[in-house]
């Protein structure tokens, strides 16, 4: 069967990013049924069988056996003499199933099928990427710098998805080259002409907060709370912390032994001067 090279990307469907197998099978069946309806005016008597493991697909048509000379619809019915050529045991009223070859569709139908499939997959990938990153807003992501432009930096995540770090969200003394690894938080996800645009930030207060969570287990575990952050990115920041456990010194825990914990954060923020202070409700 010529299916594999006609749908060259079929074997790759297993590797498609952001799309799970059952969704993929649904889309494939949908696209094939659409094509069958166009060619045969109905897809009711067709079965589309997809095997995602092997990456192949079969189409079977079932027709009812009728008396010779009474075939009204050759797609739905088959003359008894013709049926008996397939198998002599067929009788009038039986159902005959035969496999439909893709090449019988004709070149134009196959081309439009492939285009339809490609655009459906693209839409699915975009929608799933949008969903995935919408759930990551406020989280730290790591990526690799792919291109550096005047107003923004293009970053690729592990799955080669494109992320944008605008100049306005960069720390003033950030400097990037292609291939650099970069850490930032997901600031927002927008749909732009049906394309998800994922915006990152390194200047957001939340970025500093997430870095503290990564470096200070007590914050991550909720023993210490960051009450407020004020920062001038790349210059200085004040972080007010509070502990609900008398035995924990919140400032000491955040700074670490000889400043070991805070040092990692300061380095990530291009030597931003970070003051960690005890939170107090006393305005004086």
pLDDT tens digits for 118-157?
Answer: 888 889 889 989 999 999 999 999 999 999 999 999 999 9
Does the pLDDT value for residue 282 go beyond 80?
Answer: no
DSSP 115: H
For the chain, the average pLDDT equals 90
Q: Do domains 135-201 and 205-278 have the same CATH topology?
A: no
The CATH classification of domain 205-278, taken from the options 3.30.300.20, 3.55.40.20, 3.90.700.10, 3.30.200.20: 3.30.300.20
Q: Which two tokens stand for residue 206?
A: 């939340």
The per-residue pLDDT for 6 is 43
Does the pLDDT value for residue 25 go beyond 60?
Answer: yes
The predicted-structure confidence for 265-274, as pLDDT tens digits, reads as follows 999 999 999 9
The predicted-structure confidence for 78-119, as pLDDT tens digits, reads as follows 999 999 999 999 999 999 998 988 888 888 888 888 888 888
The per-residue pLDDT for 2 is 47
Q: Which two tokens stand for residue 83?
A: 């049926």
C-alpha span between 45 and 43 (Å, rounded): 6
Alpha carbon 207 to chain centroid, angstroms: 23
The per-residue pLDDT for 18 is 64
The per-residue pLDDT for 4 is 42
Is residue 40 a contact partner of residue 6, using CB atoms and an 8 Å limit? no
State residue 265 phi and psi, 5-degree precision. -70, -45
The per-residue pLDDT for 14 is 53
Residue with tokens 């192949």: 56
The predicted-structure confidence for 194-230, as pLDDT tens digits, reads as follows 899 999 999 999 999 999 999 999 999 999 999 999 9
- The strand ranges marked E within the chain are 46-51, 56-66, 77-79, 95-100, 140-148, 152-156, 162-166, 181-192, 195-201, 224-232, 236-243, 273-278
The per-residue pLDDT for 247 is 92
- The pTM is what? 0.76
The predicted-structure confidence for 152-177, as pLDDT tens digits, reads as follows 999 999 989 999 999 999 999 899 99
Task: Summarize the confidence of residues 227-256 as an average pLDDT.
Answer: 94
- CATH number given to 135-201: 2.40.50.140
Q: Which residues contact 37 (CB under 8 A, 6 or more apart)?
A: 43
Taking domain 3-133, whether its CATH number is 3.40.640.10 is answered by no
C-alpha span between 174 and 167 (Å, rounded): 9
The per-residue pLDDT for 12 is 58
Does the pLDDT value for residue 276 go beyond 60?
Answer: yes
Is residue 47 a contact partner of residue 63, using CB atoms and an 8 Å limit? no
- Please report, for the chain, the start and end positions of each structural domain, with discontinuous segments joined by +: 3-133, 135-201, 205-278
Q: Where are the alpha helices (DSSP H) in 18-142?
A: 21-40, 80-86, 107-134
The predicted-structure confidence for 39-71, as pLDDT tens digits, reads as follows 888 899 999 988 777 767 889 999 999 999 999
Q: DSSP string covering 215-236, please?
A: H-HHHHTTSEEEEEEEEETTTE
The per-residue pLDDT for 106 is 85
């Amino acid at each position: 069967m010529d299916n594999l090279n006609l749908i060259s990307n079929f074997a790759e469907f297993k590797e498609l990013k952001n799309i799970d197998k059952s969704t993929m099978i649904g889309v494939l069946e949908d696209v094939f049924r659409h094509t069958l309806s166009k060619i045969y005016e109905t897809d009711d008597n067709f079965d589309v069988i997809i095997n995602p493991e092997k990456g192949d697909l079969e189409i079977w048509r079932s027709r009812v056996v009728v008396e010779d000379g009474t075939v009204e619809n050759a797609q739905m019915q088959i003359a008894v003499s013709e049926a008996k050529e397939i198998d002599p045991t067929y009788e009038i009223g039986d159902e005959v199933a035969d496999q439909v070859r893709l090449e019988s569709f004709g070149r134009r139908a196959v081309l439009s099928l492939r285009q339809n499939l490609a655009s459906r997959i693209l839409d699915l990938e975009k929608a799933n990427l949008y969903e995935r990153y919408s759930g990551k807003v406020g989280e730290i992501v790591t990526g690799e710098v792919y291109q550096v432009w005047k107003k923004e930096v293009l970053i690729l995540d592990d799955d080669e998805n494109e992320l944008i770090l605008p100049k306005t969200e960069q720390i003033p003394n950030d400097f990037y080259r292609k291939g650099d690894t970069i850490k930032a938080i997901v600031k927002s996800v927008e749909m732009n002409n049906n394309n998800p645009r994922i915006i990152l930030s390194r200047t957001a207060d939340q970025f500093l907060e997430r870095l503290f969570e990564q470096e200070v287990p007590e914050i991550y575990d909720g023993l210490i709370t960051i009450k407020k952050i004020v920062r001038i990115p790349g210059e200085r920041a004040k972080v007010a912390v509070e502990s609900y456990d008398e035995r924990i010194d919140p400032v000491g825990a955040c700074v670490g032994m000889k400043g070991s914990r805070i040092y990692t954060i300061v380095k990530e923020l291009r030597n931003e001067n970070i003051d960690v202070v005890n939170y107090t409700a006393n305005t004086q």
